[in-house]
Amino acid sequence: MATEEQLPIDDSIPTVNYSGDDIVTLDWKEHIRRRPGMYIGKLGDGSNSDDGIYVLLKEVLDNAIDEYMMGFGKQVTVDVEEGVVSVRDYGRGIPLEKVVDVSSKMNTGAKYDSKAFKKSVGLNGVGIKAVNALSTEFFIRSVRDGQCKQVTYRCGDIVSESDIMPSDEPNGTLVRFTPDNSIFRDYSYREEFIVPLLKNYTFLNTGLAIIFNGKRFYSRNGLVDLLKENMTNEPLYPIIHLKGDDIEVVVTHTNQYGEEYYSFVNGQHTTQGGTHLTAFKEAVSRTFKDYFGRNFEYSDIRNGMVASVSIKVEEPVFESQTKTKLGSRDMGPDGPTVAKFIGDFIKKELDNYLHKELDTAEIILRKVQESEKERKAMAGVTKLARERAKKVNLHNRKLLDCRIHLNDPKGDETLKQASSIFITEGDSAAGSITKIRNVATQAVFSLRGKPLNTYGLTQKVVYENEEFNLLQAALNIEEGIDGLRYNNVIIATDADVDGMHIRLLLLTFFLQFFPDLIKKGHVYVLQTPLFRVRNKKTAKRIGNAHKNGSGLDETYYCYTDEERINAIERLGANAEITRFKGLGEISPEEFRDFIGPDMRVDRVTLRKEDTVAELLEFYMGKNTVDRQNFIIENLVVEDDSEIS
């Protein structure tokens, strides 16, 4: 083997000087601004619940909630208006001489001493500094025992700082910030994402009131209220509610497939679970199995289960700065393991509950037996389907995979969150996306014709139907969504009647058999333009030319009739209008931005008020006459008079 001295030199590679002048030390705010993903995850514009602007809000809120957890202040006021966020708590207030330090000096905070903040969310002294550095204006005022101090920053630099002065305001801290639009481009806060966040804080902190833009949120029953807020099916029995020191759990079953969990650590919603959720699922399954004295499969016990677990851990360790997955194995430096703590609590309290509530125990037993019966009936079908999926060779025939997946334990967190799969109709649509996709994070699954209407069918159909069997295998959700390979499941169909029908059939499949995939925010519908409007005389290239400046060479992609009309008005008599009738008509180059960073998608949501059973029965059931009447009464005729 050649040594380093013997390796040939490639003269085609340009020589790059590397000296001490190339070593640069960034100050705290510049490092955050250059590498925001390290501190807040992805950026985004506010169109997704995990976008950075919501992380900024959470970082400020977490400090306010920590004060409440310590026993100070029963109300937090949150106002969001035109992109400006204001959070006022009524805790003790930051020590006035340290206001600048805690808001602009990294690794500075009161939470390193576990005696002061024993079970706090933010422990590393980074969060509020990240908010400061990533905001064009950041204002902080602390009121403490009749005195106050305030500081104003711009992108982390102090603009003004007051002396300590008298104040008649109640104790507490006010933080007001405006996210930097050059980092969070064209961002806007959406109430649909803020309200669930605030409600979760109240569910986890009974007695705390949060006032959001004048509306009050409050919870008396903790996690029971949380489950009732999120469940879209009626529980089969009264929700089991168990509380102890540093732990609270709720459990029930519904007539739905799959499992549904909401896990929290120190008030932080761990959307990706972690050691505590793993321990909880194991402990609940084992306790039910031991109580019934039968050798039930854990999957049968948990089928249809809806539950939540919240624990408080001393000095928690999360797997990322955004705190979405708990990595701690111990409850604290001198405490038991997380698994033992949760296991001992569940074993004692849940077993006691079942011995007292015999009617509930009987309902659970029947539910588990029904799941077991269905699974055994499917055993042969499932085995054959899995073998068929292997023979079909997913990676060559149906699925064009990407390199980075959500379930990769060692992958970059930002890239894992970007992992996506486009479910397309036919090879022509898949072709355009395939040629222009990001092969690192974007996969394509091509349907063949219209999928089966699964409404009213059993899970057996998932394995007997080739399309759904292969789709399930591609997503890796046969055993539930814990192993989901892609963070974003994007339905990409034509903007016509057939495309809409395929979209509804896919959504019916997910709602029937994998509702948690939708509830966890993984399912989206891709928006693609209906029209292209460009200057027919001078347009020389295809693409989003209007992004490169104004002038006669503009090309506009229009997603609505209103956008089309506006584009025609801009170009006047020279407007050339193309109506895209299918994804296959859009060239790969044109598709570049449609599935790029500025991709337009509609997230599919499932809320408490969405009566899923009734919706599916009406739209996908056998009541053909009712649907026909509905369509006739709500028919909208498209005016194609201006389309050429």
157 vs 33: CA distance, rounded Å? 12
Q: What is the pLDDT of residue 116?
A: 45
Residue with tokens 């292209």: 532
Q: What is the pLDDT of residue 261?
A: 93
Q: What is the pLDDT of residue 536?
A: 77
Model pLDDT for residues 480-517, shown as the tens digit of each residue: 888 899 999 999 988 777 888 888 889 889 988 888 89
Q: What is the pLDDT of residue 119?
A: 62
Q: Three-class SS of residue 391?
A: helix
Which residues touch 265 (CB under 8 Å, ≥6 apart)?
121, 274, 276, 310, 311, 312, 313, 316, 318, 323, 326, 328
- DSSP-H helix ranges across 559-623: 561-571, 588-594, 612-620
Q: What is the pLDDT of residue 2?
A: 39
312 vs 301: CA distance, rounded Å? 27
Phi and psi, residue 61, nearest 5°: -60, -40
pTM of model > 0.85: no
**Domain 29-217 in CATH 3.30.565.10:** yes
Instruction: Quote the strand ranges of 50-204, DSSP E.
Output: 75-81, 84-89, 135-144, 147-154, 157-161, 165-166, 172-179
186 vs 375: CA distance, rounded Å? 49
Q: What is the pLDDT of residue 399?
A: 86
Domain residue limits, the chain? 29-217, 223-375, 393-527+602-633
520 vs 605: CA distance, rounded Å? 9
In the sheet with 268-269, reading across from the earlier edge strand, the strands are: 240-244, 247-253, 305-311, 260-265, 268-269
* Whole-Å CA distances, 56 to 110, 317, 396, 582, 598: 20, 20, 42, 39, 21
Which residues touch 566 (CB under 8 Å, ≥6 apart)?
558
484 vs 474: CA distance, rounded Å? 9
Q: What is the pLDDT of residue 612?
A: 59
Q: CB–CB of 32/129 below 8 Å? A: yes
55 vs 61: CA distance, rounded Å? 10
- The continuous run of DSSP H or E covering 427 comes out as helix 426-436
Model pLDDT for residues 107-142, shown as the tens digit of each residue: 555 554 444 455 665 544 568 888 998 999 999 999
CATH of domain 393-527+602-633: 3.40.50.670
**Cross-strand bridge partners of residue 397:** none
Q: What is the pLDDT of residue 296?
A: 93
Low-confidence ranges of the chain (pLDDT < 70): 1-26, 107-126, 320-322, 380-397, 427-430, 538-553, 607-644
Between 3.90.180.10, 3.40.50.720, 3.30.230.10, 3.40.980.10, what CATH number should domain 223-375 receive? 3.30.230.10
310 vs 572: CA distance, rounded Å? 60
